[in-house]
Each structure stands twice: as C-alpha cells, then as structure tokens.
Structure 1
Amino acid sequence: MAETARGTARLSRPILAGLVTALVGFTSSFAVVLTGLGAVGASHAQAASGLLALSLTMGVACIVLAWRYRMPITSAWSTPGAALLAASGAVEGGWPAAVGAFLVVAALILLTALVPRIGSLIAAIPPSIAQAMLAGVLLPLCLAPVTGILKNPWGVIPVVLTWLVCARIAPRWAVPLAFVTATVVIVVGIATGGPSTGSRLDPAALLPHLGFTLPTFTVGALVGIALPLFIVTMASQNVPGVAVMRSFGYAVPWRPAMLVTGLGTALGAPAGGHAINLAAISAALAASPDAEPDPARRWIAGVSTGVSYVVLGVFSAVFAALVVLAPAAVIPAVAGLALFGAFGSAVQQAIDDPGERTPAVVTFLVAGSGVAFWGVSAAFWALLAGLLVRAVLHAGRR
C-alpha cells in the first residue's frame, strides 16, 4: 500500500508540473495570439479557430517529442510572432493572404530541418538586430497598459495592480492572475449592463470549431509577414528553447523538433494557426528539478503539458468570446503585461554590445514606428535598415 502511494505521488508530480506549464503558457499569452490574428484580418470566428488549431498542434507536438525522445520537450505557439502580426496589421489580400504567409513559414521551418544551411543563415543575423526588431515590434503592445489606464481606468487599473502584486510574490502567476482579474472585470461589466456585444453573442460561438481558409499568396504578405515571422520564431523561440533545455542537461534533437513543429504549423495554418515552435520561457517549468527530481522521468511533464494544451483548446472559443465581451483597453492591457518580460530581454540583448548599438537602435526605431511601404510591414524594413546601417559602419573592418 505504501509503495503504491509513493508511486502515485512520484507520478503525480510531473503530471502536475505539465498542467502548470500549460496553464501558465496558455493564459499568459492567448490574448496576444487573438490580438495578432485579428490584426491581420481574422474575424472573431477565424481567430477562435486559429487559437484552437494552435492548441491542438502544439499539444500533439509536446506529446510526440516528449514520448519519443524521453525528454521534457515542450512546444508553444510563437508569442513574439503573434506580437509581430499585431504590429503588422492588415496586409494586401487580407486574411487569406495571411494564411498563405503562415504556410510559407511552415515550409521554411521544414526546410530548416532538411537544409542545415538555412539555420546557419538565421544564425548569421546579428542577435542585436534580431532582438532590436523584436523589441520594436513589442513596443506598441507593451504601451497598452499605460494608455489603457487613461482610456478605461476602472477596468485596467485592477488588472495592472494584480499583475504588480503577483510579480512581487508569485512572478510565475502574475500574468495568469491578471487575466483572472480581467475576467472578473468583464463579468462585472456584463452584469451591470456592460457592452452590448454580449447580447449579440451567439451561444453556438462558444463551442470549439475549426474554420478553414483557402490561402492566397501576395508579395506583401510573404515579405512583410512570412519572412519576419520565420526569423522571429527561430531567433526568439527555437534557438533559445534549445539553449534552455541544454541548461537542464537535455540535448534537443534539432531536426526532428523542426520537422514536428514545421508539420504542426502546416496543419494548423489553414485553420488560422500562425506558427508553433519549441517552448523557450515556459520550457523551464517542465524541464527543471521542480518538475521532477529524476531527470529521466521529466518527460512525463512534457506529455502532461501536451495533453493539457489539447484540453485547454476545447475552451478556445470561450477565451475568444471573453476578448469580444471585454470593455475597452482591458484585453490589450493583459496582452501588454504578458510581453513585458520578452520586451525587456529583447532590449537588453539589442544594446548589450556597444559596437552593435547604433544598428540596433535604428532597427528598433524603424520597427517601433510601424511604417509600411508597398504593403510590406515595418518589421521587414527594420531588419533591412539595421543590416544596412551595420554594413556601412562595419565596412573595412575585419
């Protein structure tokens, strides 16, 4: 009896760690995903479909990789990629063109697995410029909590205060609990005669569903969305994800991981999923000793994470409905708070090397400006400007 109890306790610990990993990863950034998909033309139903597709594909990717390689390998949606979509806005060709760009990203990830040279080209982009581009993309979203206080103080201030207190006493749960507070704000708003959107919400919209879109391909979407999305996903998610796992003693099988996440992205793209990748920040929750003292048993946490993502995906339409019902500025504030950590890390890495600081600053300013030419988003021009300035400043140097 005692032996059975000990065995159950040993099994429950990594399972609980996987559940926590999924809860933190999902609730911390689903608002960013919905914001990004909506910005590039997705309707409410299409954004909910994209959230479900991402939850299912990254859940299956976690299960496959963790089970096959007996490592706590976890997958996630590309949160920086979703922020990039939010900053890019509508593109030529609308939502079908955005879906086409997602498919191109999937093809590039698969090519990265099959052709190592592509990964080398990504690695050749100076980290300072890649991170400066990401920081510039994140800047407008990270300002949302500040501007939101002016737009809707009674709705946003409780969310920000919850985040601040939890950031002090329970940092891991700061954003999820800020979302819980936002949910309370939404419910109170509806109960007191809040947004009229609630009366028009079809109950059927709360059921999970996948809606498929026939993709189209435009130059603006390929250059302005697909290329920056691929670079951000690789530089800010996949490469750091491998490094995080290595810090806990796990050598992630690169090619299989890219094949699985590339296939997952390809399968989810027609339903609205922008990209899945190796988890970076949340990877530590399943791979650390806190998840399970025995490194050889932590793969159970990876499988548990995947199963939990699939279950959370069932409620994707409900989460999407909360965004529709939310008072002004509340959900953008949650999304901005969720990106504070990524923004701070990107800024630090962008300006860390004094010799690379000027190109990084130019990249950051162009990306943060939001300017778009010929239907191509600011992220691409920021990358181009940073590389150009760097080439001029470094001309003649060894």
Structure 2
Amino acid sequence: METGKHGLIEPGPGIGAGLRDLTGNINLKTASAGLVAAIFGCSGPALIVIGAADAGSLTNGQTVAWLLAIYGLGGLISLLMGLYYKVPITGAYSIPGAALVAGSLAVFPFDQAVGAFIMAGIIVLILGVTGLIGKVMRWLPMPIVMAMIAGALIRFGIGAVNAVSALPIVVGAAVVAFFLSMRFLKAVPPVLSALVVGLVAAAVMGSFGGSDAGIRFVLPEFTAPTFSIDAFLAIAIPLAILVVGAENAQATGVLLAEKYKAPVNAMTIISGVGGILAGFLGGHNANIAGPMTAICSSDQAGENRDGRYAATVVNGVLFAAFGIFAGAVVPLILMLPGPLIGAVAGLAMINVLVMAFQSAFSKAAGYQIGAFVALIIAMSNISILGISAPFWALLIGATVSMLVEKPAVSKDDGSASVGASSVA
C-alpha cells in the first residue's frame, strides 16, 4: 500500500480486529517476549532517566511525572499501534535522548527543557505529517538500513557476553538454559527459560541488589513549559533527530528484517504526538522504540508472525502500569541484577541480528560497501553535534554507496530499497 493513495496514515486492520484476535494470540511465547521487553525497558533505562532527573535537581514529584509521561504514553503507543496494525510496533522513549537531556539540565532550567521537549515533538509531528520520513525511508537501500540495525543492536549481543564475566554463575546459568530450552523444550520460549533460571540463580547467589533510586511513592508534579531559542537549538532539534534518526529508524529496520510492512508515516506521526503529550507531562518524549520492537517482533515471540503483536500489547500494558505506579515500582525493579537483564535482552535479539546481517551483506542485494560503512559507524556509537550513531550510519552509508556503488537492481524495480518492503 502506498501512503500517497490512502492519506497520511497507512491503513491497517483496525483496533477492532486486533482486539478480536488478541485472545487467540496471547500465549506463553508472546507473553514472555512482552515481559522480557518490559523488564528490559523498566530497569536500566529507568535508571538513566532518574540520573538525568538528579542532574537537573528535580523534585521526586517531577521525576515521577517524567516516568509517568514516558512509560504511560509509551505503553499507550504500543497498545494503539499493536492493535491497529496487528504488527509488533512497540512504544517507549529514547534512551540516548535521556542521556542528552541529562547533560542539558546542567545548563538549562527544567521549565525550559520541558518547553524544548514539546518543540521536539512538534518537529517530529511535522516530519510525519509532511510524509518526508516516509519518502526518505523508501529511498534508502535496504542493505544499508539492515547494516545500521546490525551495528546498533550488536551491543546487546556483546553485552550478553560481557555480562557473563560480571555475574558468571547467574548469567552463565541463564545462557545455558536458553540454548538447552531452544534444543529440547520446544513448547517453552528459550528467553523465558533464561529469565526464570537466571532469577533463581540470582536468588541462590544473593545477587539481588538494594535500590538506589531514591524515589518514594509521591504524586506527580507537573512543570509549566517555558520556550526559549537556546533550548530549542540545544535540546529540541537533537532530541527530534534522535527520535526519527535512531529510534524510529531502528524499529523500521527491525520490522522489515522480520518481513513486516512498516507504517513509517504513522510511526513518525504518533511519535510526534507522543513527544508533545509527554512534554506537557514533563517527559522528554514517547515514541516507537527500537530495542523493544526487536524483542517483541523476534522469533522468541512465537513462530506465528501474525500473532506477535500480542507481545507488544503485553509490553504496553506493563509499561503503562510501570508509569502509573512508578513511585512504588522503581525501587523494586532496580533490585534486579543488571547483567542478567542485559544478557536476556541480548539473547532475545539473536534472530534479529542474524537476519539483519544476512540482509545487509547479501551479494544479490548489492550496496555492500555502503552497508559495511553503516555497520561500523553504528557499532562505534559515536555522537556528532549531539546526534547519535544510527543517524550518521544511514546518512554516510547511503552517501558512500551513491558515490562508489551501483545497485544490484534498477531503481525502477526498487526491490533493493526499503520502500519495496514497506509498501505493497
């Protein structure tokens, strides 16, 4: 389907159809994938947000409002997109964006940062409404996008290996359980086996930690925005680029790797709306999330690709609940051993990484030099002008291919471009 024939937002089966088929698609595999994605998103990333709040000397109420905004709205995005399109399009927020904001809050008062959050959402919304992002994604060669995905997500695989050295017995037990379950327990999702065995091992070894979140159950405290040119340039523009050039681009590539049609315009528009609403609540953005989409769309969510959206729905419910009860839940979730959660998330992305590498470096698809450039830039995790590596991986990889390579197929055919897979 081409968006130009149907309006700005790509049509889908509809929320009614998603709800009707949901009960038949919620099973052990989809539920466990959604649970793992939620635990991943609510553990280490939450600590980054809390650290950013500490850097800005925010009150506990402002911190709780921030968490409510990004987790509550991120969960809502999962529910809306997952049910409407029946595709595992998962919402959350930009983790690099939280790190960007942490540095900015040392310079800007929080009310100006909140104004910048809203302006970032407006920028993303404009990019979606104009259809610009959809046009760019249809132009980008598929191998370069897949190479960016492989480079951006490989850190999770490497993190799983490093986690073994951090907690050898706990993480080692989880890894062994994952592969043994994959081989011998076809009815049990390997990622669930890894999580359960890892938690049992952590309990036996006494690896659960104390919480240093410093948040108590308090009501959210909302902050009135103040708009300034300096905050617009320093926060809003880089944050908007992170949302579309890192998170949404990663999620789009992951979905394409798993053979889904990615509604690029709708993903951008809802990320813009999510950013505006999150800003008014005091959060830096709510958008489509790359890593959580990767977990929910992977084979760990079940063999039935059409039913994996149920994992996103489960994740959305858990995310929203985490946001609503953030003041009470954060100290508990942060007691989980970080290396174990990182390892389980890395294991869940194995199939996504394999398919991304295969798509990126297939001789038939071409663009191999540009794909390699995109891979190493995404792996480098560099940040230039406040913009993270995935954006530069796509831009520089495509530029190199345009200079030195010819496509394996003609542009009229289009089968080597993202658009050929994202529209029907």
3-state SS, counterpart of residue 271 of structure 1: coil
Give the Cα–Cα distance (whole angstroms) in 1 for the partners of residues 369 and 304 of structure 2: 37
Match of 1:388 among 358, 375, 399: 399
SS of the equivalent of 1:325 reads coil
1:135 aligned onto 2:144: no
The Cα shift of 1:153 comes to 0.8
Deviation at 1:55, TM superposition (A): 4.4
Shift of 1:160: 1.4
Letter in 1 for 2:135: S
User: Which residue of the partner structure matches residue 91 of structure 2?
Assistant: 77
Q: Which of these residues, 340, 365, 368, is aligned with residue 350 of structure 2?
A: 340
> Could you tell me which residue of structure 2 aligns to residue 230 of structure 1?
244
Asked if 1:15 is matched to 2:23, the reply is yes
- The residue type equivalent to 1:155 in the other structure is V
* Mapped pair 1:152 → 2:160: no
2:196 — aligned with what?
180
Aligned to 1:25: 34
Aligned residues: 367
Alignment-mate amino acid for residue 115 of structure 1: T
Provide the rounded CA distance (Å) in 1 between the counterparts of 2:309 and 2:390.
37
Contact 1:72 1:301 in 2 (8 A): no
| Amino acid aligned to 1:31 | F
Contact 1:31 1:332 in 2 (8 A): yes
Task: Say if 1:160 and 1:237 are closer, same or farther in 2 by CA, change over 3 A.
Answer: same
- List per-residue Cα deviations over 1:303-358 (Å, max 9, x = no partner): 88865654465565676445633446333323322333332232222212452111
* Distance (Å, rounded) in 2 between the aligned partners of 1:289 and 1:277: 19
Counterparts of residues 81-92 of structure 1 (less than 5 Å): 82=95, 92=103
Higher helix proportion: 1
1:157 CA drift (Å): 0.8
CA 57–289 in structure 1, closer or farther in 2 if over 3 Å, else same: same
Q: Contact 1:367/1:382 (CA < 8 Å) preserved in 2?
A: yes
* 1:1-29, Cα deviation, whole Å (9 max, x unpaired): xxxxxxxxxx9984374486465224235
By how many angstroms is 1:364 displaced? Answer: 0.8
Query: Paired residue for 1:8?
Result: none
Residues 184-199 of structure 1 mapped to structure 2, 5 A cutoff? 184-190=200-206, 195=209, 197-198=210-211
Offset of 1:73 from its aligned partner? 6.0
Superposed counterparts of 1:87-102, under 5 Å: 92-93=103-104
Q: Deviations over 1:245-293 (max 9, x none)?
A: 978xxxx9886675445423432353355423796774697996996xx
Percentage of identical aligned residues: 23
RMSD over equivalenced CA pairs, Å: 5.0
Which one of 47, 52, 69 corresponds to residue 42 of structure 1? 52
Contact kept? 1:182, 1:330, Cα under 8 Å? yes
Contact 2:274 2:286 in 1 (8 A): no
Query: Is 1:118–2:133 an aligned residue pair?
Result: yes
Counterpart of 1:361 in structure 2 is 372
TM-score normalised to structure 1 length: 0.67
Q: Give, in whole Å, the separation in 2 of the partners of 1:339 and 1:47.
A: 31
**Whole-angstrom distance in 2 between the partners of 1:309 and 1:243:** 25
The answer to whether the 8 Å contact 1:166/1:173 transfers is yes
Q: CA deviation at 1:212?
A: 5.8
